[in-house]
Chain A
Amino acid sequence: MGLRLRLGLRLGIVALTITLLSTSVLSDLLLSKVDRRVDLTSQIVRITSTLKVENAGFDLVSDVLLAFPELQARKLAYLTATLIEGKGKVKNAGVSLPIEVANPKGMPPALKIYSVSLPMALGQGNSLTLDVLAVYTHTLQPFPEKITQSDIQLVLFQDSAHYLSPYPAKVQSLSIKLPVDRIESYTKLENTKSHGSEIKYGPYENLPPFSYLPIVIHFEFNQPFAVSQDVVREIEISHWGCVQITEHYNIIHAGAKSKGEFSRLDYQARAHIRGASAFRHLVAKLPPSAHSIYYRDEIGNISTSNLWGDTKKKELLIEPRYPLFGGWRTAFTIGYGLPLQDFLFESVGKHFLNISFGPPINELVVNNLIVKVVLPEGSGDISISTPFPVKQGQETKISHLDVVGRPVVVLEKGNVVPEHNQYFQVYYRFNKLSMLREPFMLISGFFFLFVACTVYMHVDLSISKSSASYLAKLQWDEVRATIQQVESIINQLLEAHEKLEASLCDLSRTGDIQACKMARKTADMFLKEQSKELKTLFSFLQSSPSAAHIVSKVEDLVLRERELQERLIAKHTTVVDCYERKFASREIEARVAPLEQKIIALRKEVEDLLEYIDEI
């Protein structure tokens, strides 16, 4: 009561002084009709004023001034003015007009003035309709300030029955919408009506400018009073296909503080009586393509949540671990991923991200919102564009597979309401080839491992270079190398045998004796060379002492191989001879048969020996 009187008295005196000293600093606008609708159904107070502005003077007017008391203006979170076109029932969604803070001379103190710029100047005698939406936070004062669990929460709302404006108003009315029809008390003036959950003040006629008549409404309020002190919203862009959003919340119930004990039994048994002032759920509206949504806090995952959605939206209902009474706090994190193609675009050589600014939770007031946009490493030329002013900063974040870190654009804004959940853009330049830096890091990591292995195998790490075991190892290494070379030579010889056999096959098919003879000649030369090499290797093997147990086998192998060679050459000669003398094929086979058998047997033995040597 005293508060109301003091406020009213102060402003009344101010208004009086001004009307006495009024000069014609202001343009001669006249508000022919003012309709104010105050929406108190949520903790965020929304006041929509429809002003019909008429130019009663002679000059052209290009802006309209809006006045707010300074105390109220401090809690003003969002102000927008739209020009309504069309008459009566057909109204187009108007164009939003630019609003700026103005400081015209001759205004009463303790007022904050905003100036709305009109797109077209208003001529003499013309009128237009403006729709002004003002959103206030922290305006509902809980009174009493401390309640027990079973008390109902009552709040105070203070405003003026007369519209505070620098212009005189012909006709004005005010209607207030409350959440429930339980009204504790309200200021009763002339022309005041209340039905159910609505209170109407007015219509008041012919009021001078800066008229102010304070009213106070005391009513029951049980809507969620969720206020978050700090919300950090991190948006990480990865060009491999995902925009990952992580949001950290710090929620407090900003209503009447809870005093006394909390009885869980009472709360669960009769929630609507014992605990009407608390809230349990918070609803968040996510984009429809969100996936991998999680809800957790410091302890871990919180499973009391529900998600449902369709192609147009996804709604996430989260329930904190305990119901929130007045003054209680909770902190949690919500995260989700979004596909890249809905939010990242490219135009004129620059990439830009088009994403919503505010947190997705309904009816949440944020005292300090920090949005961090993490751009991929190697982006440059960063700029942002937001529909409202924000504080901008830059930092670096080191994330997966990073060398220097990713640039982060930090945007800060205070006093954020859901009306701020509009799209903003971040522009940056990014070379697509920088994406290859990440697999390149992984590849070089693996390659380092392989190089280390190679170095280890090549480097001689033995401590004593003259001990017996070391020398024995060296010699054994040499023997093994020689044996491998012998093996490879024998394999080559076997291949040459195969070639000879193939030439025989060709002969039987085509009958070309000359080609066969050529093949035989080349094979002969090749075999001679190889046997020379084989001799040298074999002599080395015989000389080294550590190869003693293998030398016999290798000798065996070489001998067998030589026999095989001879037999094969004999067979070849016989067959060619027979062809020259044009014998029948059956005769040829008959002559070759014994040779053939021996060849097969020898071949098997050679292969066996080779296997045995391999295993050593």
Chain B
Amino acid sequence: MGPKPIASPVPESWYPALSVLMVAIGLVVTASFFIYEATSSRRNRSLAKELTTGALASFFLGFGSLFLLLASGVYV
């Protein structure tokens, strides 16, 4: 079999849409994180909830910013 051409794992035409979607979701989760921080009092706060919300938000923001970089031409 001849050599197989390699392309990106995610189709390139999806990059802008994917970046907008992921950054939006990431920002929504960030907002919920900060709302929880602001409204909960010291006793009622649960570290597990904070860390999971933070992890989820950073996951979406991380991927969203990666696709944002790729969509704007900085092929990292």
Which residues of A approach B to under 8 Å, CB–CB?
238-242, 244, 292, 337, 340-342, 344-347, 351-352, 399-401, 432, 435, 438-440, 442-447, 449-451, 453-454, 457-458, 477-478, 480-481, 484-485
**Nearest 4 pairs of A and B residues by beta carbon:** A443-B62, A450-B54, A446-B58, A345-B3
Interface positions of B from 21 to 76, Cβ below 8 Å from A = 26, 30, 33-34, 37, 40-45, 47, 50-51, 53-55, 57-59, 61-63, 65-66, 69-70, 73-76
Q: Choose from A346, A399, A439, A447 the contact partner of B6 (Cβ within 8 Å).
A: A346
Q: A244 is contacted by which of B40, B65, B70, B75 (Cβ under 8 Å)?
A: B75
Residue pair B6, A238 in contact (C-beta under 8 Å): no
Contact A442 B54 (CB under 8 A): no
Q: Are B9 and A481 in contact (CB under 8 A)?
A: no
Residues A241 and B54 in contact in the complex (CB < 8 Å), given A344-B6, A442-B65, A443-B59:
no
Q: Which residues of B contact A340 (CB under 8 A)?
A: 5-8
A439 to B72, CA, bound (A): 16
The total of chain B residues at the interface (CB under 8 A) is: 41
> In the complex, given contacts A240-B76, A450-B57, what are 14 additional A-B residue pairs having Cβ atoms less than 8 angstroms apart?
A401-B76, A432-B9, A435-B9, A439-B63, A443-B62, A446-B61, A446-B62, A449-B58, A450-B50, A450-B51, A451-B51, A453-B33, A454-B47, A484-B41
Q: Which residue of chain A lies nearest to B69 when distances are taken between CB atoms in the complex? A: A400
Minimum C-beta distance from B14 to chain A (A): 11
Given A292-B73, A454-B54, A241–B41 Cβ distance below 8 Å? no
Distance to closest chain B CB from A337 (angstroms): 8
* B51: min CB distance to chain A, Å: 7
Given A443-B59, A443-B62, A446-B62, A454:B7 Cβ within 8 A: no
B12–A440 touching, CB < 8 Å: no
By a CB distance below 8 angstroms, the chain A residues around B58 are 443-447, 449-450
Smallest CB separation, B68 vs chain A (Å): 10
Chain B nearest CB: distance from A283 CB in Å?
26
- Report how far A521 CA is from B30 CA in the complex, Å: 43
Bound form: Cα–Cα A401–B65 in Å:
12
| Residues of chain B contacted by A444 (CB below 8 angstroms) | 58, 62
B66 touches A439 (CB 8 A): yes
Find out whether the CB atom of B4 lies under 8 angstroms from the CB atom of A346.
Answer: yes
Q: Which of B5, B41, B75 contacts A481 (CB 8 A)?
A: B41
**Contact status A481-B43, CB under 8 Å:** yes
Measured CB to CB, the nearest residue on chain A to B39 is A484
Contact of B75 with A446 in the complex, beta carbons under 8 Å = no
Q: B42 to chain A: which residues have CB within 8 Å? A: 477, 481
Contact assessment for A347 and B3 in the assembled complex, using a CB-CB cutoff below 8 Å:
yes
Q: Is the CB of A342 within 8 A of B6?
A: no
Q: Nearest CB to that of A354 among chain B residues?
A: B3
Question: If the complex has contacts A241-B8, A442-B65, are A451 and B3 also in contact, measured as CB distance less than 8 A?
Answer: no
A244 contacts across to B, CB distance below 8 A: 75
Contact check, B54 vs A400: say whether CB atoms are below 8 A apart.
no
Q: How far is the CA of A478 from the CA of B44 in the complex (A)?
A: 10
How far is the CB of B45 from the nearest CB of chain A, in Å?
8
Output the nearest chain A residue to B66 by Cβ-Cβ distance. Answer: A439
